[in-house]
Structure formats: C-alpha cells, structure tokens
Amino acid sequence: MNRLHELFSWQQQESLLFTRLDFWLFFVLVMAVFVLIHKRFLLRSIFLTGVSLFFYFKTSGNFVLLLGFMLLFNYLIGLAVQNKEGQKSGKIFLITGLTINLLGLFYFKYAYFFTDAFNAQFGTHFNVVNQFAVLGNELFGKGSFVEKILVPVGVSFFTFHNISYLVDISRKEIKAARNFFDYAFYVTYFPHLIAGPIVRARDFIPQIGQPYQLSKYEFSWALWMIAKGLLKKLVFADYIAVQFIDKVLDAPGSYPGFVSVLAMFGYSLQIYADFSGYTDMAIGVSKLMGFNLLENFNSPYKSLSVAEFWRRWHKSLSSWLRDYLYIPLGGNQKGTIGTGILTAVILGFLYFITGWIELWYTYGILLTLYLLLWRFWKAFRTFAVRDLNLLITMVVGGLWHGASQNFVIWGAMNGAALIMYNYWKRISPYEQSNSWLVRFWRILFTLSFITFTRIWFRLPESDQPLQFLEIIGTKFDLSFDVWWIVWNNFWVIFCLMILGYITHWLPQSWKDKTVLFFSKWPMPLQGFAFALAVFIMYQAVSDTFKAFVYFQF
C-alpha cells in the first residue's frame, strides 16, 4: 500500500524523469494500453492526455491544476479567434489570449525578481503574495498549496506551445483543434511537455488522426535514440558535472586558472549532452508511439560561425523566436513600433536590475544618433533595423531562460556576435574556404566564444562571472608539476571529455551507417544489447543523477 501511495502521489524526489526506472515502468504500462486503443483516435487522445497530466503531476504536483486551466482557456480562445476571423473581436480574443499566457509566465518566473528590484530602486517594502495559493488553500484546505511562488516545471515550454497555437490560428496556418482532447493532447504530450522540443501545432495535430505505424527500422532507430540519450545524460553530462565541473565552478579559487577554463569547456559538453540527451529520449519514446517530434539539435559544435551555431542549437526555440518575434518585429526588412517598445522595455529592465541611471542617458544619445542616421543615410534604414531586431530577439531569448542580469548579458553577447558576423562574412577571405585548417580554427573559435558566454549562463550571481575571469587570470599556472597533479586527479574526466567531443565531431554519415547496421540485427538481439548497455550505464554512474538542466526553464 505504501508503494501504491508513492506511485500515485507527488514527491519531488520521485519525479518521473527519463533517467529513473519508474518512468520506464510507467511507459511500458502506457504502451500496453496504447496498443489496445490506438485505432480509436478520440479515445487515444483522451487516454494520452490523462497519462500526460499524471506525468506532469508526478513532476510538479498541484501545478497540474494550472496546466489544466491554461488548456481549457486556450482551447476556448482558439475557437473564438477562428470563429471571429476577420473581425475586430477576433483580434481582441487573440490579444487577450496572448496577454493571459504572458502574464502567467511573468507571474511565476519573474514576480519575485521584479518586486525585489523595485524595492531596491525605490526603497519600498512590497511583498509578493501568491494569490493562487491563497485561493487554493481556501478551496482545498490549508496546506494544499505552498504559498511561496514556485516556478512550474516546463512553464516556458507549454506557454510557448499555447502562444504559437493561437497565433497560427490567427494567421490561418492551422484550424482550431476539432475537439478539446486533441488540443490538450498536443500541449501535454508527456515526451515534450517539460523540456521540449517546442512543437508547433501545425506539425503535431495532423498526426493525431493518422493510423499508428512503426517499421522495424523506426523501432531500431527509436531504441538507438533512447540509448544515445541515456548515454549523453548519465555519462557525458551527469558524471562529468558531479565529478569535475560542479567542484571547480563552485570553488574556482581552489584550482589553477586553466582548470577553470577546462571546466567551462566541460560545461559546454555537459549542457549539450544533458539537453540533447533529453530530446533524444523524447524523440525516441515518441517514435515508439508513432508520433514524430522534430530534431532539436544538429551537432552544434561543428558550427563554423555563431550564426550556424544558432541554426543547429535548440532549433525549436530558435525557430520559434524567429517566427513569432524577429519576423513580426520586421526581421531584416523594416522596423515596427514593437522594435521601439521592446527596446525601451529591455532598457527599463536593465535599469531595474542594475540601477545604472546612465543607461537612460546612453539610450537618449543612441536614439538621437539613430534618428539622424535614419534621416540622412538610406542604407542605414535596412541594416540598422535588422541588427536591432536581431539583438532584441537574442536578449528576449536570454530572458526566456530566466530573470537575471547574467541571462540578459549572455543573450546580448550572442546577439552582438551575430550582428558582427553579418558584416564580417561580407569581407572574410575564409567564408567559402574548404581548407581543413580553416574549418578547424573556425570551429574552435566558435566553440570557444560560445563557451566564454556560458560563464554568464552557468554562474547565477551578477558579480560571479567577472570574479571568475579574474581568478583565471591571476591563477593561470601551466607549469608541468601543476598540470601533472591535475591530470592525476581528473584523468578519467578529461578522457571522457575528449571522447565526448570526438564522437560529436564524427561525420554524420558514419553515425547514420551505425544506426543502419544496428537496425539489421534481429529484434531479440537488439533488445538484449539495449538492456545490457543501459544496465552498464546505470551501474557505472548510479550515484550521480542530476535533474535535467532545462527543467528550470
């Protein structure tokens, strides 16, 4: 009875993570029922919506009620937007839907941050009150909800799903879902619910009415993706993080400076292995159920430039920001009133978190210069708007990850790099070069820049990145004795890091041939090899489990 209570109650330490045995038992049970009902499409949608909500409950507890409310709200708003197409009321419904979704996201992710910043700037003493928890405790009994505002797992992901659904209806790219459970299934589908990839309704909802199909190759490919995801997460992410990265980055002053540099390159490997490992497993699990999720990563550390990196990294977020922010702002063609509004909002945000009054003086000077160039230099009107829209998009991408000065700086640095590259590629003598030496240094330079910016992504406090860089500069000792001591302590980690990067850089054709070779094995042998590989991975790193990095976003 105690075990049953644990299975059907929320305990944070017992979340249904892809790395836990409980998830795979859950998935086997889901598949057993799914096989029996897969031809009855409505029943299938109802069932998978139910199990997805249970999955979210096991991950986030009573926040499942918030998810349920947002499902009903957005379903009704979607119908209203479609039914009032071409009418003023249709736009009002759309604006209402977008506003409620964004307010919900801001409330849960940014309420404490903005309140603290406001109090610090104006000497006030406002307190954040979780009105939802107060109401919930009145309805369901005291203690049912924690009164501190907690961030629901995956809130950024399912909010973006809802926004894209409403906007695509208004753009006539899709029709509103035929029934509530088709829409609810699309949003809550458990493989992508809490850490992506971000799925467009136009890509997923049409699959809901398609017959279940799974060829032997697709089955083999799905097993391969799941095993690859587990390997990335357990070995190249968790083990390296626990045994090396966290130790160094939590106390960089205790290590020589070059070790901190290696730890940051290790972090680049960790965050890729962690996030792409999750999406590999999500894509594999989904394929076994007959649904296709789009690729989210395409070997990003093979990139020759920052622009190529952002086409390969977290592709679903990059394309979402492009289609629902960058292009509506005018893209690289024109400016809109939104460009000016968002610029002022971002500067206001920076002022709140830094207290730098100079930001407004700087903004005034830049605005004056901008208007003069706009008036007297026609060519400026194109590239200036493009650059500003690109910078806004990347800063918003940084804010999507969290409300902090460091995330803004991280986004702004990547935005500035994209702008600089747009000019450099016009005059670069290396842009079209196929020389292996040129490709090598371009890949190394891009990886090094991305790793450098991740100092602001990894370290939470605003003063930590500069302190970290100062420590690296003052303690950068590469003498043989120091290097030998470091090697003896971390040689296993360094070997794993080298192996991780080498396997990442292998040609894609080699990887495809490996999957094809595996697909030709008899299914019993595939199952045995899969089970053996998973068993070995769990035995090797059984004490190093960490939550997926992107759960916090």
- For residues 150 and 74, membership in a common domain is answered with yes
- For residues 91 and 179, membership in a common domain is answered with yes
Domain assignment present for 307: no
Can you give the residue range of the structural domain that contains 362?
A: 316-427
Helix (H, G, I), strand (E, B) or coil at 521: coil
- For residues 146 and 235, membership in a common domain is answered with no
Domain assignment present for 372: yes
Torsion from C-alpha of 149, 153, 154, 156, nearest 10 degrees: 20
- For residues 208 and 219, membership in a common domain is answered with no
Domain assignment present for 8: no
Please list, in sequence order, all residues whose beta carbon lies within 8 angstroms of the beta carbon of residue 158, skipping any fewer than 6 positions away. 67, 70, 187, 188, 193
Give residue for tokens 């604006």: 95
Domain assignment present for 36: yes
Q: Which two tokens stand for residue 157?
A: 């992901």
- For residues 248 and 366, membership in a common domain is answered with no
- For residues 517 and 410, membership in a common domain is answered with no
Per-residue 3-state assignment (H helix, E strand, C coil) for 212-257: CCCCHHHHHHHHHHHHHHHHHHHHHHHHHHHHHHHHHHHCHHHCCH
**Cα separation of 255 and 483, whole Å?**
11
Domain assignment present for 374: yes
Of 212, 245, 279, the residue that ends a domain is 212
Of 142, 177, 212, the residue that ends a domain is 212
**Cα separation of 264 and 490, whole Å?**
15
Answer yes or no: are the C-beta atoms of 104 and 159 closer than 8 Å.
Answer: yes
Structurally, the chain folds into a number of domains equal to 3
Residue by residue, DSSP assigns 431-458 as: TT---HHHHHHHHHHHHHHHHHHHHHHH
Please list, in sequence order, all residues whose beta carbon lies within 8 angstroms of the beta carbon of residue 368, skipping any fewer than 6 positions away. none
**Cα separation of 258 and 250, whole Å?**
15
**Full-model pTM:** 0.88
- For residues 228 and 360, membership in a common domain is answered with no
Domain assignment present for 508: yes
Domain assignment present for 432: no
- For residues 66 and 33, membership in a common domain is answered with yes
- For residues 513 and 412, membership in a common domain is answered with no
- For residues 493 and 531, membership in a common domain is answered with yes
Q: Which of 428, 430, 346 is nearest to 391 (CA)?
A: 346
**Cα separation of 419 and 305, whole Å?**
12
Give phi and psi for 432, each to the nearest 5: -105, 10
Q: Which two tokens stand for residue 453?
A: 């910016």
Q: Which of 149, 152, 65 is nearest to 114 (CA)?
A: 149
Q: Which two tokens stand for residue 150?
A: 């907690």
Please list, in sequence order, all residues whose beta carbon lies within 8 angstroms of the beta carbon of residue 511, skipping any fewer than 6 positions away. none
Show the low-confidence residues of the chain (pLDDT under 50). 1, 3-5, 13
- For residues 194 and 223, membership in a common domain is answered with no
Please list, in sequence order, all residues whose beta carbon lies within 8 angstroms of the beta carbon of residue 322, skipping any fewer than 6 positions away. 393
What confidence tens digit (pLDDT) does each residue in 221-262 have? 999 999 999 999 988 998 899 899 999 998 888 899 899 999
Helix (H, G, I), strand (E, B) or coil at 287: helix
Q: Which of 251, 264, 269, 265 is nearest to 467 (CA)?
A: 251
- What is the separation of C-alpha 86 from the centre of its chain, rounded to a whole number of angstroms? 34
Residue among 161, 192, 314, 401 flagged as catalytic: 401
Q: Which two tokens stand for residue 22?
A: 């409980």
Residues 170-194 as b/e (b if ≥16 CB within 10 A, e otherwise) read beeebebbeebbbbbbbbbbbbbbb
- For residues 378 and 468, membership in a common domain is answered with no
Of 195, 212, 229, the residue that ends a domain is 212
Task: Give the N- to C-terminal CA distance of the chain in Å, as an integer.
Answer: 35
Burial of 332 (0-12, 13-18, 19+ CB in 10 A): middle
Residue 195's CB: how many other CB atoms inside 10 A?
23
Is 38 considered catalytic here? Answer: no
**Cα separation of 126 and 532, whole Å?**
56
**Cα separation of 495 and 244, whole Å?**
12
Answer yes or no: are the C-beta atoms of 27 and 48 closer than 8 Å.
Answer: no
**Cα separation of 175 and 172, whole Å?**
7
Domain assignment present for 333: yes
